[in-house]
Every structure is written in structure tokens, then in C-alpha cells.
Amino acid sequence: MSSHLDDAISSRAGARPAMARWAAIPLRAIVGYGFMAHGYAKLVKGPDHFIGILHALGVPAPELLGWLTILTELTGGLAVLIGAFLPLVSIPMAAVLLVAALTVHLEYGFSSIKLQSVTAAGAQFGPPGYEVDLLYLACLAALVLGGPGPFALDGLLARRKRGPDAVTAPE
């Protein structure tokens, strides 16, 4: 009886690498979309609003860093979403996350959800902690270390560079 269990475990463990390559898809989707949504929100509210926040926080060169943050969120988010240049774009994206965690969220502790009360208007929440920043950093690290997975622009570019006759291992 234990041999059936051993066989099931062995076949399941052997299937894991084939399925593991797909793990990057939901990571790319949520990190890419999330960064783009944050960058877009800053544009819609007006970049001057975000630059004003940076100025109030005492961030040096708030106009320059405000625009760099918006561009990093938009272009980095798009690059992650399509699986392009992940090791390169992850550096400025990680910097944005670290600055946000240390300058804004750290004082509010770990938890990103702090239910204060429930009123007729709905749930009222306190300021978020650094939890989500860490989750984004972990996702970026997983994508850089594990690769962008299937349907990534990096994979398409690599296949084109090798040529149409090259034999490649499955992703």
C-alpha cells in the first residue's frame, strides 16, 4: 500500500517543475497591474498632488523623484505585465517600494488592513502598514529568481535571437 503512496508522491513531485513555470503568470499580472494602477492614479489626481505629498514628507528633489516614481510605476508595471526585462526594471521598482515602506508605511506597523469601525457608510480603515510593500518585493524577487514564465516578451525575444531552427527546451 505504501508503494502506491510513494508512486503518487513521486509522480506529483515530477509534475511540479512542469507546472511551476506557470506560477509567474499570476505574479506578473498582479504586480504589473498594481504598479500601473498606482502610477495611473498619480497621473489622474495630477502629478503636482503626489509631488506635494513628497515635499511634505521632506523627500529631496520631490518634483524629480515624483516624476521618476510615476514613470517607474507605469513603465515598470507594463514591463512586468508583459514579462520584459524583469531583472532590470525590478531595481527601480524595489527602490520605490522600499522608500514607500520606510517613509510612509513603517510608522503604521506591519498590517495593511486596520479596521477602525463599521458605520452606515461602510467599513472605516486606518492607515496601511508596510505589509503590501513586502508582498510586492517578494513577488519581484520571485520573478527575478524564477524567471518571467510563459507568454513573456523576454522568452519571445530569446527565441528570435536563437533563430527559427534552434531546438529549445520547453519553458
Query: What are the φ/ψ torsions at residue 147 (nearest 5 degrees)?
Result: 90, 165
Number of helices followed by number of strands (H, E) in the chain: 8, 2
CA angle 34, 36, 41 (to 5 degrees): 95
Question: What's the CA gap between 81 and 139, in Å, rounded?
Answer: 12
Cβ-based neighbours of 103, under 8 Å, separated by 6 or more: 57, 59
Question: What's the CA gap between 126 and 65, in Å, rounded?
Answer: 26
Question: What's the CA gap between 97 and 81, in Å, rounded?
Answer: 17
Please tell me the pTM assigned to this model: 0.82
Asked if residue 1 is part of any domain, the answer here is no
Asked if residue 136 is part of any domain, the answer here is yes
Asked if residue 129 is part of any domain, the answer here is yes
* Cα 99 → chain centroid: 15
DSSP-based three-state secondary structure for 119: strand
Full domain range(s) for residue 109: 17-162
Tens digit of each residue's pLDDT (9 = 90 or more) over 55-99: 999 999 999 999 999 999 999 999 999 999 999 999 999 999 999
How many domains are contained in the chain? 1
Asked if residue 33 is part of any domain, the answer here is yes
Residue 158's pLDDT band, with cuts at 50, 70 and 90, is confident
Asked if residue 169 is part of any domain, the answer here is no
Per-residue confidence (pLDDT) for residue 21, from 0 to 100: 86
In contact, 28 and 81? CB cutoff 8 Å: yes
Asked if residue 97 is part of any domain, the answer here is yes
Span 101-109, mean pLDDT?
A: 94
DSSP-based three-state secondary structure for 46: coil
Asked if residue 35 is part of any domain, the answer here is yes
Asked if residue 121 is part of any domain, the answer here is yes
Q: Of 20, 31, 37, 35, which is closest to residue 140 (Cα–Cα)?
A: 31
Question: What's the CA gap between 44 and 155, in Å, rounded?
Answer: 33
C-alpha cell at 131: 505589509
